[in-house]
Amino acid sequence: MLLEKTNLVKSGDNETFVLNLGPQHPATHGVLRVKLTMDGEYITRAEPVPGYIHRMHEKMGENRTWAQFLPNTSRIDYLSAMHYTHAYVAAVERAAGIEVPLRAEYIRVITSELNRISSHLVWFGAFILDLGGFTPLLYAFDDREKILDLLESVTGARLTYCYYRFGGLCNDVDSDFITGTKEFIEYLKPRLEMYRQLVTNNIILKKRLEGIGPISAEMCRKYGATGPVIRGAGVACDVRRVEPYSVYPELDFEIPVYHEADCMARYLVRMDEMYQSLRILEQAIAKLPEGPIMGKVQKSVKVPAGDYYFAVEASRGRFAVRIVSDGKEIPYRLKLRAPSFSNLSLFEEASQGMMLPDALALMGSLDLVIPDIDR
């Protein structure tokens, strides 16, 4: 049974030492510090110390107008900026009762799914890099560059897009973008097949991932882990399906689920998600209607007093925005529910008794983005 901890420490003596993993360690992808208590090569306790790049995004939201917070949303999780902006604008739209034109919703889905693929490609490259393989990173970044070029031609930025507005989008996509995306879909399919041959089928990767770092569905529920982590534990939990938003109900796609609950399961979930995103892209482009890209919105958005909530499926899991308004022009409270924080929370329990290199594989499979944890 995979979920049993196979390599638990059995020694009774207290000869442990403390190892600082981070805040400047290449395997932690940013400034995350993990205080490891080690018994030889085995971890007895792993205490994550987040907060090195805490930027008070929630507090910032409380002292600027609704629209002025928009640029912040791209900077929380810089790899899936589109989803985060989507959650925020959709929360405000729900609160203020703003209708979004259908074309804008389709373009939101197209750009969000492109963003999801680019985010997974970064994770793919960085994860394999953690495990000691350098080449796939360069291939993945080459592919990602094509997505960034596409999104840059539409939004004007490569990472901090800030593309959605309350009630629509800031500018329309052109035919170059549509043909570019179509070409990209055809380009990526053989590339994903190449990754399967080069990486997924590789015996070294299999040995590093299969049966390593079990995270049960129960543990996911305990810590609130979402996204590929819980889908790798056999639970088909995807906000796009369980709390449908935008035009996702009109599109046909599958939620990849693996029951092994190990690092390999989480790896395969993300690889399959890229295929599913391509499927969504194909359908959304085929269905893309003509029409306006902005709904009827007042110049300064007024949010009636109340408590509003909106969740989206970001690349790392459920991202939700809760806004509390007292009817003024600035939010009373803005709460951001970041998936990486919950996914990190289970690391302490999950890594207990693991060997250090396996724990790094586990950490990589969680796909942590540190600014997302700290916010």
Interface residues with another protein (CB under 8 A)?
64, 67-72, 75, 135, 139, 142, 145, 149, 152-157, 160, 162, 170-171, 194, 197-198, 201-204
**Which tokens belong to 74?**
């791209």
Least distance from C-beta 220 to another protein, angstroms? 31
**Which tokens belong to 59?**
């507090």
Least distance from C-beta 204 to another protein, angstroms? 7
83's CB contacts (< 8 A; 6+ apart) are: 77, 112, 115, 116, 312, 313, 314, 315, 319
Q: Which is nearer to another protein, 75 or 318 (CB)?
A: 75
DSSP states along 232-297: TTT----HHHHS--TTGGGS-------SS-SHHHHHHHHHHHHHHHHHHHHHHHHH---S-SB---
Other Cβ atoms closer than 10 A to 253: 18
Least distance from C-beta 313 to another protein, angstroms? 25
Residue 348: its H or E element: helix 347-350
Q: Which is nearer to another protein, 177 or 258 (CB)?
A: 177
Bridge partners, 49 (sequence order): 33
Q: Which is nearer to another protein, 87 or 128 (CB)?
A: 128
Q: Which is nearer to another protein, 24 or 201 (CB)?
A: 201
Whole-number Å distance between alpha carbons of 335 and 342:
15
DSSP states along 167-215: TEESS---HHHHHHHHHHHHHHHHHHHHHIIIIIT-HHHHHHHTT-S--
Least distance from C-beta 206 to another protein, angstroms? 9
Least distance from C-beta 168 to another protein, angstroms? 12
Separation of CA 7 from chain center: 30
Least distance from C-beta 264 to another protein, angstroms? 15
Q: Which is nearer to another protein, 41 or 145 (CB)?
A: 145
> Tokens 């949303």, residue?
73
Least distance from C-beta 162 to another protein, angstroms? 5
Determine contact, residues 184/117, Cβ cutoff 8 Å: no
Q: Which is nearer to another protein, 29 or 75 (CB)?
A: 75
DSSP character at residue 336: E
Least distance from C-beta 131 to another protein, angstroms? 14
Q: Which is nearer to another protein, 133 or 224 (CB)?
A: 133
Q: Which is nearer to another protein, 83 or 146 (CB)?
A: 146
